[in-house]
Amino acid sequence: MFYIKAPTGQISFHILEKCVLDRLEYLQLLYENKNHEFNGDFEYLLENSAYDKIGHFILRLLASVSEKLYNYWIAKEILFFQTRLNYILPRQLHKLFRSILCQLGEFTDKKKLINKTLNDICIFFLKPLVFKHLVSKNHTKNCNLYKIKVRFEVIPDLITKRKLDLNDGYITIYCSKWKKLFKSLFCTYITKQVICMKAKAQYIINQDTRLNYLYYKIHSKIFKENCQTSIKYRYITKENIDKEVKNFPLCMQHLHIKLRKTHRLSHYARLYYSLFLKDGGMQLEDAINYWKEEYSKPHTCSSTCSHNWQMNERKFIYSIRHFYGLEGSKKNYKSPTCEMMCMSASSSVYEGGCPFKNFDINILKNLLCLSLSNDHITKVLNAISSQNPQIACAEFFKILNQRNKSNIIINSPLQYYFKMINQI
């Protein structure tokens, strides 16, 4: 109910999606005072259930990358919390206090003001005499039998509304105001958690295309618009890919050039390039149209792939959706690491691999000529190591990205790309 510790484990994407969408639907109806019209599954809203926690934490993550979505969600989430407090039973309230203490006990940052305040308040209200009074019928709306002091920073909304008195930085809270206190603390806690998540949230969403897909679906559903125009973050699209390719690592530049030239890639080359584009932010619809454009053209290569879009459209679309975790086992397939690229089995028809390890020196030079001067090409070639080709890749990166003067270790094509566009 207070959502301090995120749930762990595995869950199918279609269930995760249902948790989020049903929660959003209920929150909106509750906000409009129409929650009795909810036709979704209440199983996903049961307090303290895994589904309830998943719905909240996924929405918290998605909302942290969009101020518009955050403002829409947080007011309704706080209302949901307040509604639960209004109908909470004594046994449930005692369990809530204990749960907050237990979850906070697992964190190392116990000295944070909000965490310390929550801890102290729960201990105070769990005192036998205080708790018994709190849930008794004699506890009136204006009761001031028990009181506790808290710092003003953790309940700024109550200060703004001038509902409580401030003295030397502390607010005196009487037992009759405990619901308002917890509502305010809930708001403060979630807000601070979202601020902490912001730095890494976009990278996490980009890494998991299912989350990326869900973000777009939610944004479009709520605001009834093409959210691509309202988001500040950068994505690979069918329209910008030929310009964006300059930010790709050399291995992915090579696959892009090869695909544009021959209109086909062999199986593993197509797999690795598809996963790189997916995790780089290419949306499902763009991916389908991008591959459709190429595979609808006659191929001009010796690739083992002789398929064409016209005859195999259903298989192609299913395959792409499968990469995006939307078909079959709904597994989240990750883009390849540098180790995977280097270890890729080579053959006469395989176009992939690491250029700094697997390519003929003349082919590598031709690739480098597309981006570098002769002096810079020599510098990169001198950095090549058969044991650690990432060194040459890092040198290639530093020459192209003059803004980044620090040493960098390249672990994956995706990391290279995000570094190049300054998203990590």
Q: What whole-number distance in Å separates Cα of residue 324 and Cα of residue 291? A: 14
263 is a domain residue: yes
52: tokens are 């309830």
Q: Does 380 share its domain with 328?
A: yes
Range of the domain at 190: 13-140+176-223
User: Could you tell me which of 269, 207, 280, 210 has the C-alpha nearest to residue 241?
Assistant: 280
213 is a domain residue: yes
The amino acid occupying position 52 is: D
Domain boundary among 223, 257, 285: 223
Q: Does 280 share its domain with 184?
A: no
Q: What whole-number distance in Å separates Cα of residue 284 and Cα of residue 327? A: 12
Residue 405 dihedral angles phi and psi, to the nearest 5°:
-95, -10
95 is a domain residue: yes
Number of domains in the chain: 2
Domain boundary among 193, 223, 253: 223
| Environment class of 225 (CB within 10 Å of its CB; exposed 0-12, middle 13-18, buried 19+) | exposed
Q: Does 290 share its domain with 203?
A: no
Q: CA angle 144-169-149, nearest 5°?
A: 30
Q: Does 44 share its domain with 94?
A: yes
Q: Does 211 share its domain with 336?
A: no
191 is a domain residue: yes
Q: Does 304 share its domain with 279?
A: yes
18 is a domain residue: yes
Q: Residues 6 or more apart from 190 whose CB is under 8 A from it? A: 3, 60, 74, 77, 78
Written as tens digits, the pLDDT of the chain (424 aa) is 889 888 888 887 778 888 999 999 999 999 999 988 888 889 889 988 899 999 999 999 999 888 888 999 999 999 999 999 888 999 999 999 999 989 888 775 666 888 888 988 999 999 999 999 999 888 888 888 888 888 888 888 777 666 667 778 888 888 888 888 899 899 999 998 888 888 788 778 877 767 877 887 888 788 764 444 333 345 788 889 999 999 999 999 999 999 999 998 888 899 999 999 988 888 888 899 999 999 998 877 655 556 788 888 889 999 998 888 888 777 778 888 988 888 775 555 678 889 998 888 898 999 999 888 898 999 899 888 777 888 899 999 989 887 666 678 888 898 899 888 865 4
170 is a domain residue: no
Q: Does 298 share its domain with 348?
A: yes
Q: Does 379 share its domain with 288?
A: yes
What pTM was estimated for this model as a whole?
0.56
Q: Does 273 share its domain with 216?
A: no
Q: Does 258 share its domain with 208?
A: no
405 is a domain residue: yes
Q: Does 245 share its domain with 207?
A: no
Q: Does 245 share its domain with 210?
A: no
349 is a domain residue: yes
User: Could you tell me which of 373, 344, 372, 370 has the C-alpha nearest to residue 359?
Assistant: 344
Domain boundary among 163, 198, 223: 223
User: Could you tell me which of 357, 375, 403 has the C-alpha nearest to residue 247?
Assistant: 403
